[in-house]
Chain A
Amino acid sequence: MKQLFFLLILALSATFVTAQNKVPNVQLKDIDGNTVNTKDLLNPDGPTVICFWATWCSPCKRELNNYAELYEDWQAETNVKIIAVSIDDQRSVSRVAPYINSVEWEYQVVLDPNSQFKRAMNVINVPHTFLIDKNGNIVWQHNNYADGDEDELHEQLQKLQ
């Protein structure tokens, strides 16, 4: 009986683990002052990349600046949408809009000043990047950024084609 119980638990947890995780729904503000639900940010017609970053995080800015140069090509190839989630708190949140304008990013930028979405996505440190397929499943994630990591993301994007 005990073993049966064990097996049941095992089978149950196996179904839990194999089930792919979805993006949790959290209400945030975007850079223009609009209220947005994180579920509505996802791209229904292709993959979505969610990057957690902050104005004080140099590797985060390197990552998103490098993606910015490739974004047009990636969009043409895979129809990807990139969302940059700033975890800047009140100390630096007012720097987000001027910064992204000065570097001319084309991403949708949302603000997570109390790390609500960051916590719901189990992010420990920034940068942390997620790839979500068009059905809303988190299919790949990467912590940290080093030059060249964009190639790995690109490969992952191509796999979803």
Chain B
Amino acid sequence: MKRRVILFVALFSSFHLFAQLENIDLGHISGNVSLLWQQYNEDTLIGAQVPPEKAGFNAYGNLIYTRGNFSAGIRYESYLSPILGYPGRFKGTGIGYRYAQYTHQKFEITIGNFYDQFGSGMIFRTYEDRNLGYDNAMDGVRFIFRPYNGITLKGIYGHQRLDFDSRLINTDGIVRAADGEIFINDLIPALQEKKLKTTIGGSFVSKYQDGDIIEKDTLQLIVPNNVGAWAGRLNLQWKGLTAYGEYVHKINDPSADNGYTYRDGEALLVQLGYSRKGLGINVGGKMVDNMSYRSDRDLLLFDSPINYIPVITKQHTYNLAATLYPYATPLTGEASFMAEVFYKIPWGKYGTNVAMNFAAANNLDTTKYAGVDEQIYGFKRNSWGFGDTKYVRDFNVEVKQKFSKNFQLKLTYFYLEFNTTSTPVTTEFKGIVYADIAVAEFKYKLAKKHAIRGELQGLWTKQDRRDWATVLLEYTFSPHWFVSVLDQYNYSHPDPDRRIHYLFGTVGYINGSNRIALGYGKRREGIFCVGGVCRAVPASNGFEITVTSSF
């Protein structure tokens, strides 16, 4: 009894105390949680296997504490065991990311993990994509200094994330990076209101990794322990016109990606654009030569890249176009360009939106060395142009028409030539796939909160697994419920037994920033690509639950 009184008094006084403290800033906590659970059944037809655990579970929780200029955060991660298709070595549960950051006027200091990008990212980019299992976070110190309005200087020192085993595991390599950017219009007050906006930037990145000697036949080659790279960039904007250019150069960096050869790496990216109300035009070119750059020279795939190579093709959203033949820049290099037009035909009540896009990439124009030079340098590049091997041609045109407040139709056509040797997205065919893809998508609003959306997709090709059809139907009851059914059907696979329906159904409930979805069905084996790298995801069959929540 006495204790209860004390407790009560304590409680009361604490409320009293906090009532007084109300005006004092104690800071804020925000965060999010996401869970993905998959259950696996055996399905020999699609090649789905059951791991011993019979289920996979990935979970993440982020917490950010902010008070004034100070913030700190952690990410708790669980892989018990990882979802199929994730790097299988991820395991356990623990803290995979933590940082503290302080900002004071011209300074910003971060210790612990952080993500950052210099320019286009072709020299330095750390980021995460949790859906893909991609995370190359830095772990160290970052210092940002803004001495004058318009000038940003960054210095970075640290290790890089590689793995997770109940805790964060970094590579041994040390990454050191500096970047400077000047936004001229802010720096020079007289130019502030001028229409021409100019930004220039430059970066230097260096990695250190201990290494000794590589033996190739009779050769003994010394491995460079420090590999430096530099980049310069320029961004101009004038009314509707934009121009962006960046050049990156990397010194010799023998690695698993380039067969331990000693050529320098180079990349050049140019993007030009024009747009005004109702019209947009974009052209771009990109040449990448030997620009794989990792904090550990022996790693491959998604593991610890320091930089990021943007892909020249458009990122497609329709299932067949996006997942069967997704292009990824080969790490040895490519020459590529793209062009794109957006136009709104101003007729009728709603007008018609048209978008056209074309991208092409080939190998580099190179000559192979002979003898010792081949072992040391591999090849030499003759020009910045196209070589003889076609990597990809991707033409697509999209027409969107709204007919009434409630009905809208979108038609898309794609023509694809895709080299499955340079981007190995299928094991069943090596060579060029020539494919036509057509998609019709409609959206119909049935009542105030009820809408139905459907997609009919076809892919026709004489190569690989031949023709596919996809049907997607989605019913939404705003703001809380959705139901969808997806069927992918490989209806003319050369082997009649493998003309399979991949049927997947989902039901979901959303409340504000909380979302829960239950799915069941078959998932085709596929390829996830990020930047220049792709990872295979095996086929599976079973239940799936996803939960996401932000607060």
Contacts and interface: CB of A to CB of B under 8 A. Distances in A.
A11 B10 CA distance: 11
A144 B479 CA distance: 9
Given A56-B317, A114-B125, A148-B450, A19 B279 contact: no
Contacts of A55: 315
B64 A122 contact: yes
Contacts of B515: 143-144
A157 to B, nearest CB: 14
Interface string B235-270: 101001010100000000000000000000000010
Contacts of A148: 445, 448-451, 476, 478-479
A125 B117 CA distance: 20
B276 interface: yes
Given A34-B197, A35-B186, A91-B310, A151 B278 contact: no
Contacts of A113: 117, 121
Nearest to B14: A11
Contact of A102 (B183, B271, B317, B343): B343
A9 to B, nearest CB: 10
A142 B513 contact: yes
A146 B443 CA distance: 11
Number of chain B interface residues as a range? 35 or more
A56 B311 CA distance: 14
A128 B512 CA distance: 10
Contact of A103 (B353, B477, B512): B353
B277 A4 contact: no
A14 B29 CA distance: 11
B310 A90 contact: yes
Interface string B1-40: 0010011001100110110011000111111101000000
Contacts of B449: 148, 151
Contacts of B476: 146-148
A24 B108 CA distance: 14
A24 B71 contact: yes
Given A33-B235, A102-B343, A147 B451 contact: yes
Interface string B65-91: 010000100000000000000000000
Interface stretch (B280-288, B458-466, B487-495): B280-288
Nearest to A123: B550
B117 A146 contact: no
Nearest to B240: A101
A101 to B, nearest CB: 4
A90 B121 contact: yes
B414 interface: no
Interface string A1-23: 00110011001101111011110
B115 A115 contact: yes
Contacts of B274: 98
A122 B448 contact: no
Contact of B550 (A8, A58, A104, A122): A122
A20 B30 CA distance: 10
B28 to A, nearest CB: 5
B32 A147 contact: no
A116 B276 CA distance: 28
Interface in B50-66: 62, 64, 66
Contacts of A57: 317
B479 A146 contact: yes
A152 B281 CA distance: 36
A113 B281 CA distance: 20
A149 interface: yes
B550 A141 contact: yes
A141 B242 contact: no
B210 interface: no
B314 interface: yes
A101 B317 contact: no
A158 interface: no
A58 B317 contact: yes
Nearest to A142: B512
B278 A104 contact: yes
B26 A16 contact: yes
Contact of A94 (B121, B240, B244, B548): B244
B542 interface: no
25 contacts: A4-B7, A7-B11, A7-B14, A11-B14, A15-B18, A15-B21, A15-B26, A22-B28, A22-B66, A32-B197, A33-B242, A34-B185, A35-B186, A90-B121, A90-B122, A95-B314, A95-B340, A97-B275, A104-B277, A120-B64, A123-B32, A148-B445, A148-B478, A151-B448, A151-B478
Given A11-B18, A152-B479, 17 more contacts: A4-B6, A15-B18, A16-B28, A21-B30, A34-B185, A55-B315, A94-B284, A97-B280, A99-B280, A114-B117, A124-B548, A142-B512, A146-B482, A148-B450, A148-B451, A151-B479, A152-B478
Interface of A: 3-4, 7-8, 11-12, 14-17, 19-22, 24-25, 27, 32-35, 55-58, 62, 89-92, 94-95, 97-99, 101-104, 113-116, 119-125, 128, 140-144, 146-149, 151-152
Interface of B: 3, 6-7, 10-11, 14-15, 17-18, 21-22, 26-32, 34, 62, 64, 66, 71, 103, 115-117, 120-122, 125, 127-128, 130, 150, 152, 183, 185-186, 197, 199, 235, 237, 240, 242, 244, 269, 271, 273-282, 284, 308, 310-311, 314-317, 340, 342-344, 353, 355, 443, 445, 448-451, 453, 476-479, 482, 508, 510, 512-515, 548, 550-551
